[in-house]
Structure 1
Amino acid sequence: MQLNFLNEPSVLHNLQYRYSKDLIYCKAGPLLISVNPLKDLHIYEDDILTAYRLKLVDIPHVYATVNTAYTEMRKDGQNQSIILCGESGAGKTETAKHVIEYLTFLTGGDTGMRRKINHSSFILEAFGKAQTSMNDNASRYGKLTEFHFTLTGKICCSRVQTFFLEKSRVVQLCNGERSFHIFYQLCAGATESMKARLNLKAPSFYKYLNKSESMIIPGVDDEQRFHSLVEALETVGICKEDQEHVFAMVAAVLWLGNIIFSEGSNGQVEVVADDAVSTVSRLLECSTFDLITSLCAQTTLAERENKLTFQQATASRDALASYIYVSLFEWLVEEINKSFEAGKGHSVSTISVLDIFGFDTSSKNSFEQLCINYANERLQQHYYRHLLKLVQEEFELDGIDFSKVHFQDNQDCLGLFEKIPRGFFSLLDEESNLAKASDMTFANKLKQYLSGNSCYKSEQGGKFTIRHYAGEVTYDMDGFLTKNKDSLHSNSVQLLASCSGHLPQCFNSKLLQQCGSSGKSNCLNRNMGTEFKGRIFKLIQQLESSTPHFIVCVRPNSKQLPDMFEKELVSKQLRCFGIVEVVKMHGYGYPTRMTHQEFASRFRILLGDTDNISEDPLSIASAILQRHRIPPTSYQVGNTRLFFRTGQIDQLEVLKNKALEGALDVQKLSQKQYRCPQFEAMKTGVITLQSFIRGENSRREYSVLKKLPSKELLSLRTLQRSQKTVIQLQSAIRGWLARQQFSRMQSANRFSNKMANSPKTFGTETPKGLPEENIVMSPSNMEDIRVQLVKAEATLGQKEQENAALQLQLQQLQSKWSAHEEKMRIMEDAWQQQMKSLQTSLAAAKNSLAADNPPAEPRRFMVSPSPFSDSEDAMSMGNQTGTSSPRPRFGSIPESHPGQESNGKSAPLGHLAKEFEQRKQILDDEAKSLGSHHYPEQQLRQLKLRFAQWKRDFKVRLREAKAKLRKQGHADMERSHRKWWGKKHRKPT
Structure 2
Amino acid sequence: MHRSSFLCFGVKGEISHQATPKMYTNLSPGDLVWFDPGVGYYHESAKVVMVQAIINSSTKNFTLNNLSSVNLGQNGVEDMITLRDINEASVLWNLRLRYDNANIYTYIGTILISVNPYRGFDTEDGDIYGIKSVTKYDGQILGTLPPHLFAIGSAALARQSSSNLITEQILEGSNLIESFGHARTLTNNNSSRFGKFIQIFLKDGVISGAKFNDYLLDKHRIVSHNSDERNFHIFYELLAGLSKEQKEKFGLMTADKYFYLNQGRNYDIDGKNDKADFGNLISSLQVLGFSLEERDNIFKVVAAILHLGNVYFNRKHFRNGVEGVELGSSVEIKWLAHLLQLNSNAVAQMLTSKSSYETPRDPIVVPMNIDQALDVRDALSKALYASLFSWIIKRMNKILSNKSKKNPNQKGICIYDVYGFEDLNENSFEQLCINFANEHLHNQAEYANEQIEWTPINYSDNGPILNILCKKPVGIFHLLDDESNFPKANDTSFLDKCHYNHALNELYSRPRMSSREFGVKHFAGQVWYNVDGFLKKNRDLASGDILSLLCSTKDRRLLNIFSRLNPKNIQNENIYNDPRNENGHLISMKPRAATVSARFIDNLHHLHGILNESYPFYVLCIKPNPSKLPSKFDMPLVLEQIRVNALVETIMIRKTGYPIRMKYKHFVERFRCLLGARYPSIGYYGGGSPTTKEMARNIVEKFAGEHGADFEFGSSKVFLKENLRKTLETERRQIHDVTVIKLQRAIRGYLARKDFINKKKSTIKLQAAYRGWSVRKDFNKAKKGVIALQAIYR
* Partner residue in 2 for 1:67: 154
Classify the secondary structure of the residue corresponding to 1:481: helix
* Partner residue in 2 for 1:698: 770
Distance in 2 between residues matched to 1:127 and 1:434, nearest whole Å: 34
Structure 1 residues 480-629: aligned runs within 5 Å: 480-512=534-566, 513-516=568-571, 521-522=576-577, 527-589=595-657
> Of the candidates 152, 156, 163, which is equivalent to residue 110 of structure 1?
163
With over 3 angstroms needed to count, the CA separation of the structure-2 counterparts of 1:629 and 1:706, relative to structure 1, is: same
* Partner residue in 2 for 1:207: 259
Distance in 2 between residues matched to 1:239 and 1:360, nearest whole Å: 39
Is the Cα–Cα contact under 8 Å of residues 487 and 525 in structure 1 kept in the other structure?
Answer: no
Is the Cα–Cα contact under 8 Å of residues 484 and 526 in structure 1 kept in the other structure?
Answer: no
Distance in 2 between residues matched to 1:493 and 1:562, nearest whole Å: 48
Classify the secondary structure of the residue corresponding to 2:83: coil
Displacement of 1:238 in angstroms is 0.8
Matched, 1:376 2:428: no
* Partner residue in 1 for 2:516: 462
Larger Rg: 1
> Of the candidates 121, 126, 129, which is equivalent to residue 44 of structure 1?
129
Displacement of 1:606 in angstroms is 12
Classify the secondary structure of the residue corresponding to 1:454: coil
Displacement of 1:694 in angstroms is 3.9
Matched, 1:227 2:279: yes
* Partner residue in 1 for 2:356: 300
Displacement of 1:623 in angstroms is 11
Classify the secondary structure of the residue corresponding to 2:270: coil
Matched, 1:143 2:196: yes
Displacement of 1:504 in angstroms is 3.8
* Partner residue in 1 for 2:326: 270
Provide, for residues 876-903 of structure 1, a one-character-per-residue CA deviation record: whole Å limited to 9, x for no partner: xxxxxxxxxxxxxxxxxxxxxxxxxxxx
Distance in 1 between residues matched to 2:474 and 2:305, nearest whole Å: 38
Q: Indicate the larger mover: 19-28 or 699-708.
A: 699-708
Displacement of 1:467 in angstroms is 2.0
Is the Cα–Cα contact under 8 Å of residues 173 and 212 in structure 1 kept in the other structure?
Answer: yes
State the aligned residue count: 646
Is the Cα–Cα contact under 8 Å of residues 295 and 317 in structure 1 kept in the other structure?
Answer: yes
* Partner residue in 2 for 1:29: 109
Provide, for residues 186-226 of structure 1, a one-character-per-residue CA deviation record: whole Å limited to 9, x for no partner: 11211111111110011121122222212222232212211
Classify the secondary structure of the residue corresponding to 2:509: strand
Classify the secondary structure of the residue corresponding to 2:559: helix
Is the Cα–Cα contact under 8 Å of residues 606 and 624 in structure 1 kept in the other structure?
Answer: no
Distance in 1 between residues matched to 2:386 and 2:445, nearest whole Å: 38
With over 3 angstroms needed to count, the CA separation of the structure-2 counterparts of 1:270 and 1:22, relative to structure 1, is: same
Distance in 1 between residues matched to 2:170 and 2:652, nearest whole Å: 38
Provide, for residues 890-926 of structure 1, a one-character-per-residue CA deviation record: whole Å limited to 9, x for no partner: xxxxxxxxxxxxxxxxxxxxxxxxxxxxxxxxxxxxx
* Partner residue in 1 for 2:420: 358
Distance in 2 between residues matched to 1:685 and 1:569, nearest whole Å: 72
**Could you say which structure has the greater relative contact order, defined with CA pairs below 8 angstroms and 6 or more residues apart?**
1
Provide, for residues 221-258 of structure 1, a one-character-per-residue CA deviation record: whole Å limited to 9, x for no partner: 21221121111111111111111111111111111112
Structure 1 residues 862-877: aligned runs within 5 Å: none
Is the Cα–Cα contact under 8 Å of residues 490 and 518 in structure 1 kept in the other structure?
Answer: no
Is the Cα–Cα contact under 8 Å of residues 606 and 659 in structure 1 kept in the other structure?
Answer: no
Provide, for residues 626-685 of structure 1, a one-character-per-residue CA deviation record: whole Å limited to 9, x for no partner: 99995956557869898776545766898999999999999xxxx9xxx9xxx99x9999
With over 3 angstroms needed to count, the CA separation of the structure-2 counterparts of 1:646 and 1:356, relative to structure 1, is: closer
Classify the secondary structure of the residue corresponding to 1:113: helix
TM-score by length of 1: 0.59
Residue identity in the other structure for 1:112:
L
Classify the secondary structure of the residue corresponding to 1:340: helix
> Of the candidates 301, 304, 308, which is equivalent to residue 249 of structure 1?
301
**Unpaired runs of at least 5, structure 2:** 1-76, 122-126, 579-591, 680-688, 781-794
Provide, for residues 430-470 of structure 1, a one-character-per-residue CA deviation record: whole Å limited to 9, x for no partner: 33344444333433332222212222222243123222222
Matched, 1:122 2:122: no
With over 3 angstroms needed to count, the CA separation of the structure-2 counterparts of 1:258 and 1:64, relative to structure 1, is: same
Displacement of 1:427 in angstroms is 2.1
Is the Cα–Cα contact under 8 Å of residues 268 and 310 in structure 1 kept in the other structure?
Answer: yes
Higher strand share: 2
With over 3 angstroms needed to count, the CA separation of the structure-2 counterparts of 1:119 and 1:697, relative to structure 1, is: same
Is the Cα–Cα contact under 8 Å of residues 365 and 476 in structure 1 kept in the other structure?
Answer: yes
Distance in 1 between residues matched to 2:169 and 2:738, nearest whole Å: 48
Is the Cα–Cα contact under 8 Å of residues 367 and 480 in structure 1 kept in the other structure?
Answer: yes
Is the Cα–Cα contact under 8 Å of residues 490 and 520 in structure 1 kept in the other structure?
Answer: no
* Partner residue in 2 for 1:20: 100
Is the Cα–Cα contact under 8 Å of residues 297 and 491 in structure 1 kept in the other structure?
Answer: no
Higher helix share: 1
Is the Cα–Cα contact under 8 Å of residues 607 and 623 in structure 1 kept in the other structure?
Answer: no
Residue identity in the other structure for 2:186:
S
Provide, for residues 262-320 of structure 1, a one-character-per-residue CA deviation record: whole Å limited to 9, x for no partner: 22223022234521111111111112111112112222333222222222222112111
* Partner residue in 2 for 1:828: none
* Partner residue in 2 for 1:788: none
Displacement of 1:588 in angstroms is 3.5
Q: Indicate the larger mover: 532-541 or 284-293.
A: 532-541
Classify the secondary structure of the residue corresponding to 2:617: strand
Is the Cα–Cα contact under 8 Å of residues 293 and 491 in structure 1 kept in the other structure?
Answer: no
Provide, for residues 14-56 of structure 1, a one-character-per-residue CA deviation record: whole Å limited to 9, x for no partner: 2211111121222212322222222112211101111212539
Is the Cα–Cα contact under 8 Å of residues 161 and 205 in structure 2 kept in the other structure?
Answer: no
With over 3 angstroms needed to count, the CA separation of the structure-2 counterparts of 1:542 and 1:264, relative to structure 1, is: same
Identity of aligned residues (%): 28
Residue identity in the other structure for 2:111:
L
Residue identity in the other structure for 2:160:
T
Distance in 1 between residues matched to 2:224 and 2:765, nearest whole Å: 88
Structure 1 residues 457-856: aligned runs within 5 Å: 457-459=509-511, 460-512=514-566, 513-516=568-571, 521-522=576-577, 527-589=595-657, 646-647=722-723, 693-700=765-772
Is the Cα–Cα contact under 8 Å of residues 198 and 416 in structure 2 kept in the other structure?
Answer: yes
Matched, 1:187 2:239: yes
Residue identity in the other structure for 1:10:
S
Displacement of 1:418 in angstroms is 0.7
Distance in 1 between residues matched to 2:704 and 2:547, nearest whole Å: 76
Distance in 2 between residues matched to 1:68 and 1:660, nearest whole Å: 15
Structure 1 residues 311-350: aligned runs within 5 Å: 311-345=371-405, 348-350=410-412
TM-score by length of 2: 0.72
Displacement of 1:482 in angstroms is 2.1
* Partner residue in 2 for 1:731: none
* Partner residue in 2 for 1:258: 310
Residue identity in the other structure for 1:570:
V
Displacement of 1:622 in angstroms is 10
Residue identity in the other structure for 1:115:
E
With over 3 angstroms needed to count, the CA separation of the structure-2 counterparts of 1:705 and 1:182, relative to structure 1, is: farther
Q: Indicate the larger mover: 256-265 or 575-584.
A: 575-584
